[in-house]
Amino acid sequence: MERGGEERESDRTLTTSDNERVQGTLPTTGPTKRPSISGLAQIGNIYRRGPASLANLSLYAFGVSGLWTALGTPLLPIKVNEILGNGGSSVLGVVFDANDKNGALGIVSLVGLAVAALAQPIAGTLSDRHKGVTKRLPYMLVGSAGMAASVLFLGFAGTLLSLIILNVLIQGFGNFGQGAANGLIADHVSPGKKGSAAGALNLSRVAGAGILTGLIFIFMARYDQETAPGWMTASLVLLAVAAIVATLWTVTSLWRSTAVPGSGAEPENIQPVLTDIDPARTDIGNSAMPRGMYFRFLIALTMVITGFSALQLYSFFYLEDVIGLDNAAQGGIVILLSTAIATALTVLPAGRMTDKLGRDPMLVFAGIAGVLASVMLMFASSVLMVTLVGLLVGMVIGIFLTVSWALANDLVSRQHAARDLGYASIAVLIGSVTSRISGIGVDRLNDVRDALGYQAVLGAVALCFIVTVILMTRLNGTSHPVTDALKDHAVGPDATS
């Protein structure tokens, strides 16, 4: 009896320890019998881990990326078609008609992106000045709320000017929150895990873009301005709710973890870094990488954004004019899903591989694949072929997004991370300006010969991939330059242990 009582007490002790390990409050020292927990309990455990979970650091991007992607394709193209189809519209005295749809779409998008390029560095600079690990979160809340509120009015836009104003608000608020969120990886992730963190972030972005934009394509395939206007409203409400919920998850999980002792948020392989280094030192993180290196990175980022932006921006009209689809929104669903699935399956392995192999091998592989995909699209003649190429494009996107964001975090200092990473929005602006201005040239070349404009765009995209690889490779010198810099500058007897 006495021995049995001891065994039962031991069982109870084992269960308690295992539960604590599941919560993240005790280190795991060896194989133990884990209790069975439900899916909801597992989700709750992730939430309680706060910044120790890459999912919590990244989930906000699900809603934000989904809203931005669906806005670019198909919502803005559909609204531009509606406005120009109802007798045209003018902006600052320039008249646009139905034959100017690519140029009009480019201008609507461009003005919003100009605001975005200002909002990210400003919000990043402001959030860098605050103290504490929650300093980014208020900016994220304000940005998400303003963006969600603005997008709800998109259906009421009846002129190009009103569409531009709404897009300015959406991009301004959204990038105000994004500018602060850019610093989350630098705040919470150790140098050797930045590739994995970038992979998790981009998985959240791709999942949001794929799932939400896929649903919007389904909704808008049923939309008609006269007979079924409710599908536009449903699309906008879905995007607004998704952006708010995803941002609230990230903000509250990070906020709660710092407010509740023993919340299980103590990081294991993911933790604040540079704690042994004088906080006045701003050169750590780019001491081996001069500012010229980061400027070179921004030029390369501009080139790859130009390519990706062109592929996204003109895909809707490409399906109509080249592939010959009467309902591009309906046909685009399959292509979007193939690209999104390939990207989603690529980002996490790409993050782990770039942490192990370095940035350069992954960039070279992605560049070669990107050129191949661009050339194949020049000769595509069916939805099936475009869908297959979409798989390759998705892989290229996944690698470039992950490796470039990890590289960006290598090159910036932690003290000014959000500000410096916010400068990437200027690269996005320039790349987007280039691709959108080219819309006018696409229309004119298409007038010369059918599909000539689209072929020219695809050739330019291939060139962008080549230049990007040339500029981005050898930026960091070694596979793990930041880790080496930390070892060189760390203070204390245990710094290298």
Q: Dump pLDDT digits (tens) for 126-146.
A: 999 988 778 999 999 999 999
The per-residue pLDDT for range 461-497, each reduced to its tens digit, is 999 999 999 999 887 644 343 334 433 343 333 333 2
The pLDDT value recorded for residue 361 is 93
Which residue carries 């709710």 as its tokens?
A: 241
Ranges 195-204, 215-224, 262-271, 358-367: which has the least confidence: 262-271
Mean pLDDT of 441-461: 85
Split at pLDDT 50, 70, 90, the class of 152 is: very high
Tell me how far apart the alpha carbons of residues 294 and 422 are, in angstroms, rounded to a whole number: 12
pLDDT band of residue 332 (cuts 50, 70, 90) is confident
Strand partners, 94: 91
40: confidence class by pLDDT, cuts 50, 70, 90? confident
Q: What would the mean pLDDT of 429-441 be, rounded to a whole number?
A: 80
384-398, 445-459, 478-492: range with highest mean pLDDT: 384-398
Is residue 28 included in any domain, yes or no?
A: no
Q: Closest Cα partner for 89 from 21, 4, 37, 161? A: 161
Alpha carbon separation from 444 to 72, 360, 447, 451, 456 (Å, rounded) = 22, 38, 5, 11, 11
As a whole number, mean pLDDT of residues 286-303 equals 76
Q: Helices 194-221 and 230-259 meet at what angle, rounded to 10?
A: 160
Q: Pairing between strand 94-96 and 89-91?
A: antiparallel
Question: 3-state class of 194 per DSSP?
Answer: helix
**Domain membership flag for residue 321:** yes
Question: So what's the pLDDT on residue 7?
Answer: 44
Mean residue pLDDT of the chain comes to 80
Identify which of 383, 326, 308, 321 has the alpha carbon closest to the alpha carbon of residue 69. 308
- Report the pLDDT averaged over residues 87-116: 85
pLDDT at 185: 92
User: Would you mind telling me the total number of residues written for the chain in this entry?
Assistant: 497
Residues 6+ apart with CB under 8 A from 24: 45, 48, 49, 52, 264, 265, 266, 268
**Could you give the percent of the chain with pLDDT greater than 90?**
43
Give percent of the chain above pLDDT 70. 80
The DSSP secondary structure of 218-237, one letter per residue, reads HHHHT-BTTTBTHHHHHHHH
452-472 and 291-313 are packed helices; what angle lies between their axes, rounded to 10 degrees? 160
> Which has the closest alpha carbon to 322: 458, 183, 211, 139?
458
Q: How confident is the model at residue 190 (pLDDT cuts 50, 70, 90)?
A: confident
Sign for the pseudo-dihedral over CA of 406, 412, 417, 419: negative
Distance CA 414, CA 283 (A): 9
What is the spatial distance between Cα 41 and Cα 62, in angstroms, rounded to a whole number?
Answer: 21
DSSP three-state, residue 30: coil
Distance CA 125, CA 418 (A): 6
Q: Is residue 377 part of a domain?
A: yes
Contact 401, 414 (CB under 8 A): no
CB-based contact 174:64 (threshold 8 Å): yes
pLDDT of 455 above 60? yes
Does some domain include residue 146? yes
φ and ψ at residue 47, rounded to 5 degrees: -60, -45
Question: What six digits make up the tokens of 206?
Answer: 């791709």
Indicate which CATH number applies to the domain containing 131: 1.20.1250.20
Give the position of tokens 């400003």.
Answer: 122
Supply the pLDDT for residue 37: 60
- Has residue 113 got a pLDDT over 90? no
The pLDDT score that the predictor gives to residue 489 is: 40
CB burial of residue 1 (10 Å; 0-12, 13-18, 19+) = exposed
Task: Indicate left, alpha or beta for 356 from its phi (over 0: left) and psi (-120 to 50: alpha).
Answer: alpha
Strand locations in 27-144, DSSP E? 89-91, 94-96
Is-contact 205 401, C-beta < 8 A? yes
- Write down the pLDDT at residue 259: 44
Residue 265's SS3 state is coil
Q: How far apart are CA 318 and CA 94, in angstroms?
A: 25
Beta strand extents in 271-425 (DSSP E only): none
The reply to whether 277 falls in a domain is no
Give the pLDDT confidence of 254-279 residue by residue, as tens digits.
987 554 444 344 444 344 433 333 33
Q: What pLDDT does 386 receive?
A: 86
Instruction: Give the structural domain span for 298.
Output: 58-259+286-489
Higher pLDDT, 22 or 64: 64
Tell me the two tokens of residue 364: 């070279």
- Ramachandran bin of 289, using left for φ above 0, alpha for ψ from -120 to 50, beta for the remaining angles: beta
- pLDDT score of 476: 63
Residue type for position 51: P
Q: How confident is the model at residue 257, as a pLDDT?
A: 58
Taking 90 as the threshold, does the pLDDT of residue 105 lie above it? no
271: region left, alpha or beta (phi > 0 left; psi from -120 to 50 alpha)? beta
Q: What is the pLDDT of residue 403?
A: 93
CA 306 to chain centre: 16
pLDDT in tens, 47-66: 888 888 999 999 999 999 99
> What span, in angstroms and rounded, lies between the C-alpha atoms of 33 and 27?
14
432 within a domain of the structure (yes/no)? yes
Q: What is the pLDDT of residue 266?
A: 41
User: Cis peptide before 349, with omega less than 30 degrees from 0?
Assistant: no
Q: Nearest 10 degrees: CA dihedral of 225, 230, 232, 238?
A: 180
Q: Are 231 and 88 in contact (CB under 8 A)?
A: no
In this model, does residue 23 exceed pLDDT 80? no
In a domain, 218, yes or no: yes
What pLDDT is stored for residue 286 in this prediction? 40
Q: How many domains does the chain have?
A: 1
The pLDDT value recorded for residue 497 is: 29
